[in-house]
Amino acid sequence: MSPLKVWTNRLRGLLLQWLLLLSLLSATGSFRSKIFTKHVLRSNLSTSFYVLDDTPGLDRVFDGIGGVSGGGATSRLLVNYPEPYRSEILDYLFKPNFGASLHILKVEIGGDGQTTDGTEPSHMHYKGDENYFRGYEWWLMKEAKKRNPNIKLIGLPWSFPGWIGSGKSWPYDSPSITALYIVSWILGAKKYHNLDIDYIGIWNERSFDIQYIKILRKMLNQKDLDRVKIIASDNLWLPISISMLLDDELLDAVDVIGAHYPGTHTVQDALKTNKSLWSSEDYSTFNNEVGGGCWARILNQNFVNGHMTSTIAWNLVASYYPQLPFGRDGLMTAQEPWSSHYVVETPIWISAHTTQFAQPGWRYLKTVGHLQNGGSYVALTDGLGNLTIIIETMTHEHSKCIRPPLPFFLVSEQTTTFSLQGTFKELRMLQVWYSKLGKKPWNDTFLFKQLPPLKITNGTVTLQLGLDEVYTLTTITTGQKGSHPTPPESRPFPSNFEDNFNVGNPPFSEAPNFADQTGVFEYFTNDQDTSGHSFTLRQVLTQRPITWAMDADQTISIIGDHNWRDITITCDVYMETPVTGGIFIAGRVNKGGSFIRSAQGVFFWILANGTYEVTGDLERRRIIKGGKANVMAKKWYTLTLNITDSSAYGILNNRVLWKTQLRPLPRNGWAAIGTRSFEFGQFDNFHIQA
Ligand SMILES: *[C@@H]1O[C@H](CO)[C@@H](O)[C@H](O)[C@H]1NC(C)=O
Ligand SMILES: *[C@@H]1O[C@H](CO)[C@@H](O)[C@H](O)[C@H]1NC(C)=O
Ligand SMILES: *[C@@H]1O[C@H](CO)[C@@H](O)[C@H](O)[C@H]1NC(C)=O
Ligand SMILES: *[C@@H]1O[C@H](CO)[C@@H](O)[C@H](O)[C@H]1NC(C)=O
Ligand SMILES: *[C@@H]1O[C@H](CO)[C@@H](O)[C@H](O)[C@H]1NC(C)=O
Ligand SMILES: *[C@@H]1O[C@H](CO)[C@@H](O)[C@H](O)[C@H]1NC(C)=O
Ligand SMILES: *[C@@H]1O[C@H](CO)[C@@H](O)[C@H](O)[C@H]1NC(C)=O
C-alpha cells in the first residue's frame, strides 16, 4: 500500500470514529447542557449570565496539558542548537510561569522504525542488546525535569525493533518479551537518568492486546513500579472502553483511556468505565494563528464537550526539516540549529492561558460550558480558594484543526457576566490575561497580554468578548510572559558542510543534522582501525523493525536543504556485508517521513558484488546507469556525486566512473546516505558543496 493510501485509510478510520461519536453525542451533550443551562439566565440577546459555583461539588480532576516529542523524530534538530538558544527554547516549553509551562512531556520509546518524520533508536536494537544513551528523548526528559520537577512523563512505543516480533511485524507474538522490553525502558530511565516515568502506553494508534496489557501491569507491579499508570490505547475510544467494561482485570489494569484527535467528544462507554479520559494526542496543526485557534478551542472544549482532563499536542516542538510530513505542526518552531533561529509560535501562549494558572490535581467546576453566542468557558480550582476561569471565542474558520473535520458553528461578539458563588463569593479581584488571534495583516494579534485586574462587584465580573479571543481570569498572581532576547535571523543550511564524525565522546548517538528516515545511523568507533577511519557514522539495523509507517527496504538518512539543486557530495563509504551488501550517497532526495518509500532523487550506489548503479529512486526501480566497478565489502572507497543542472557524474576514488544526463528527476531535494538493505555500513568524511 502506498503511504498516501495508508494515510487515507487512517483518516477514513478517524472520520468514521468521529461520525459515530456525533451520533452518540446527543446523549452526552444533553447531559452536559442540563447542567449549564440551569446557570445561564438570558438577560437580553447580547448579554448572558453564567454562574461559577463549587456548592454542587466539583467535577473531574485536571491532569494537565502536554506535548509529544517523537512519533517520530520531531525533536531531531533541537538537540543540535548551540547554547544559549537551546536552553531558551526549553524554557519556552517547560519553565513554570514563563511560556507554555507544560505539565506533561510524552516521549516516543524509540523502536528503530519510521514514525512520521524519522526513526528514533531503540534501547534494544538486537536481542540481548541494552543501551540507555541513544537518541535525545532521555536528554529532553531531563531538561524538562530540571525546569519543572513536577512535570509528568509518559512513554509510548510507535515501532519496535524487529527481534521483538521474532520475524513477524507484530509486537504481541510473545507478550511477556514485549512487556519486558517496555519495563526495561522504564527501569533504564530510573537507573541511568534518575527519571521516574509516570505513565506508559501500549502501541500508538495500532491494535492493543488484552493479554499484553494484563502482563504489562503484572510485570510493572513485580518490579515495584505499581505507581506507573497505564494509558490505553492511544487510538479510538470504543474498542478499549468496551473491552474494559467486559473484563474486570483489564478495567483494573488501565488507569487512563487515551483517545487521539477526538474532536472534543467522547462516547458513553468510555464514560461508563469511570476512568480518566484524555485526548492523549491532539492538535497536529500548522502553528500559525489558526493552529493557535485550534489549540485554544480544544483545550477548553475537550473538557466541556468530552470530559477530557488532559490534552497532549503532537508535537511538542517542530524540530524537523519543514518539508517532511506535517511541517511546523509543533507548539513552537526550532528547525534551524545551523542559524540558531527559532520562533515562539501562538500555541505556546495559548497553552500558557491554562498551564500557568491551573496545575494537575486541581479540579474542574461543574459549572462550565458553552457561551450563548459561541465559544466556551471552563473554571478550575485547587480546592484552597483559588479560581481560574478560561474563556475562548474561537471562530470556525480560524480554529480548524487538521482533523477531524469541524462541523460549522457561529460565534459573535457578546457581553458575559460571571457570578462567583460558593467558596468564590468572597473574591474581590481577578488577574486578567488576554490573547487575540488576529487575521492578516496580523496587526490585531495579542498574545498573553496582562490586563489590569478586574474588580469583582457584587460577586460578578462582566466582560465584553470579541472574536478569536482567550481570557484567563484568575486568583493566581504568578503568571508571567517570559522572554529571551530575539534569536538570530533565519538562514539556509550552510552550502559548504562537512562532518568527519571524529567525536571521541559524543553527547548524542546521532551526528548533527542527519535525519534518519529508515534505519538508524550512529557514531561508531573502530578500535582496530589502521586506515584512518577510527570514528565513523554507522547504519546499525540488521533487521526490518516492527514498522509503524512504511519504512523503505533500504536505509537512508537525509541532511541539508530541500531547495538544493546543484550539489556535490563526497563521502568515504564501507560496506560490511559481502556479496549482497550495498551503499549509496544521493542528492535531490525529494521525500521523507512516511513517504520515504517513494523518495526520488539521484542515487549513486556501489554494490558488494563488484558493480555500481545510478538510480532515480531509493527503491532502485529506475536504474539510469550501471556497470562494473571493482568494489567489494570491507574496503573503504571515496564516492563523489556531482549534480549540475540536468547532468550528473560519479567519481570512485579519484576516477570518473560514470556521467549521465538526468531526465525527469526532482529539481531539488536533500542530500542523503544509506545502505541497500538492513545491513551494517559505515560513512566517513562526509562533505557537501551546494
Ligand atoms: C442588553 O444588555 C446590555 C448590557 O447590559 C445593554 O447595554 C443593552 O442595552 C441591552 N440591550 C437590550 C436590547 O436590552
Ligand atoms: C462507575 O461509577 C458508578 C457510580 O458510582 C457505578 O455505579 C458504576 O458501577 C461504576 N462503573 C464501573 C465500571 O466501575
Ligand atoms: C492560592 O494559591 C496560592 C499559592 O499559589 C496560595 O498561597 C493561596 O493561599 C491560594 N488561595 C487563594 C484564595 O488565593
Ligand atoms: C490593521 O491594519 C488594517 C489595514 O492596514 C487597518 O485597517 C486596521 O485598522 C489595523 N488594525 C489595528 C488594530 O491596528
Ligand atoms: C449589588 O446587589 C444589590 C442586591 O442585588 C443591589 O441592590 C446593588 O445595587 C448592587 N450593587 C451594584 C454596585 O451593582
Ligand atoms: C549485483 O547486485 C545487484 C543487486 O542485487 C544485481 O542487480 C546485479 O545483477 C548484480 N550483478 C552481478 C554482476 O552479480
Ligand atoms: C560539479 O560539476 C560542474 C560541472 O562539471 C563543475 O562546474 C563544478 O565545479 C563541480 N563541482 C564540484 C564541487 O566539483
CB 646 less than 6 A from any atom of ligand 7: no
Cα–Cα distance for residue pair 22/388, rounded to 1 Å: 30
Q: Residue 44 Cα, ligand 1 centroid: separation in angstroms?
A: 6
CB 435 less than 6 A from any atom of ligand 7: no
Q: For the chain, which ranges sit under pLDDT 70?
A: 1-46
| Residue 272 C-alpha from the chain's centroid | 30
Q: Is the dihedral of CA 402, 404, 409, 412 positive or negative?
A: negative
Query: Which DSSP state fits 518?
Result: E
Dihedral, 126, 130, 132, 136 alpha carbons, nearest 10: -10
Nearest ligand to the CA of 43 is 1
Cα–Cα distance for residue pair 218/212, rounded to 1 Å: 10
- Is 205 catalytic? The answer is yes
CB 288 less than 6 A from any atom of ligand 6: no
Do residues 569 and 584 make contact, with C-beta atoms less than 8 angstroms apart? no
Nearest ligand to the CA of 648 is 7
Ligand 6 pocket test, candidate residues 553, 607, 612, most atoms within 8 A of CB: 607
Protein residues with CB under 6 Å of any ligand 4 atom: 441, 443-444
Q: Residue 372 Cα, ligand 5 centroid: separation in angstroms?
A: 24
Cα–Cα distance for residue pair 452/38, rounded to 1 Å: 31
Cell of 576: 560490511
The position carrying cell 496489557 is 213
Cα–Cα distance for residue pair 56/60, rounded to 1 Å: 13
Strand pairing class (369-370; 623-628):
unpaired
- State which H helix or E strand residue 31 sits in: helix 3-37
Q: Residue 377 Cα, ligand 4 centroid: separation in angstroms?
A: 29
pLDDT, residue 3, reads 44
10 Å Cβ neighbour count for 188? 19
CB 477 less than 6 A from any atom of ligand 1: no
Residue of minimum CA distance from atom 2 in ligand 2 = 274
Angstrom distances, CA of residue 207 to CA of 174, 186, 414, 531: 15, 22, 45, 49
Residue 521 burial class via C-beta count within 10 angstroms: exposed 0-12, middle 13-18, buried 19 and up: buried
pLDDT, residue 4, reads 46
Q: Residue 55 Cα, ligand 1 centroid: separation in angstroms?
A: 30
In terms of Cα–Cα distance, which of 117, 73, 69 is closest to 93?
69
- Is 522 catalytic? The answer is no
| Residue 659 C-alpha from the chain's centroid | 42
Do residues 143 and 150 make contact, with C-beta atoms less than 8 angstroms apart? no
Q: In what order do the strands lie in the sheet with 41-44?
A: 41-44, 47-53, 414-421, 460-465
- Domain architecture of the chain: domains with CATH: 60-340 (3.20.20.80), 496-689 (2.60.120.560)
Nearest ligand to the CA of 611 is 6
- 515 pairs with which residues across the strands? 558
Q: Is the dihedral of CA 74, 75, 80, 84 positive or negative?
A: positive
pLDDT, residue 38, reads 34
Q: Is 450 helix (H, G, I), strand (E, B) or coil?
A: strand
Q: Residue 272 Cα, ligand 2 centroid: separation in angstroms?
A: 7
Q: What is the three-state SS of 597-660? A: HHCEEEEEEEECCCEEEEEEECCCCCEEEEEECCCCCCCEEEEEEEEECCEEEEEECCEEEEEE
Position in ligand 5 atom list of the atom nearest CA 460: 14
Residue of minimum CA distance from atom 4 in ligand 1 = 47
In terms of Cα–Cα distance, which of 595, 585, 562 is closest to 676?
585
Cα–Cα distance for residue pair 463/417, rounded to 1 Å: 6
Residue 666 preceded by cis peptide, ω within 30: no
Ligand 2 pocket test, candidate residues 243, 244, 274, most atoms within 8 A of CB: 274
CB 609 less than 6 A from any atom of ligand 6: yes
Nearest ligand to the CA of 607 is 6
Position in ligand 4 atom list of the atom nearest CA 438: 13
Angstrom distances, CA of residue 444 to CA of 286, 390, 391, 435, 465: 20, 21, 19, 10, 15
Q: What is the three-state SS of 308-356? A: CCEEEEECCEECCCCCCCCCCCCCEEEEECCCCEEECCHHHHHHHHHHC
The position carrying cell 526550532 is 334
pLDDT, residue 441, reads 85
Position in ligand 2 atom list of the atom nearest CA 244: 13
Could you give phi then psi for residue 526, rounded to 5 degrees?
A: -90, 100
CB 631 less than 6 A from any atom of ligand 6: no
Protein residues with CB under 6 Å of any ligand 5 atom: 457-458
- State which H helix or E strand residue 240 sits in: helix 238-245
CB 611 less than 6 A from any atom of ligand 6: yes
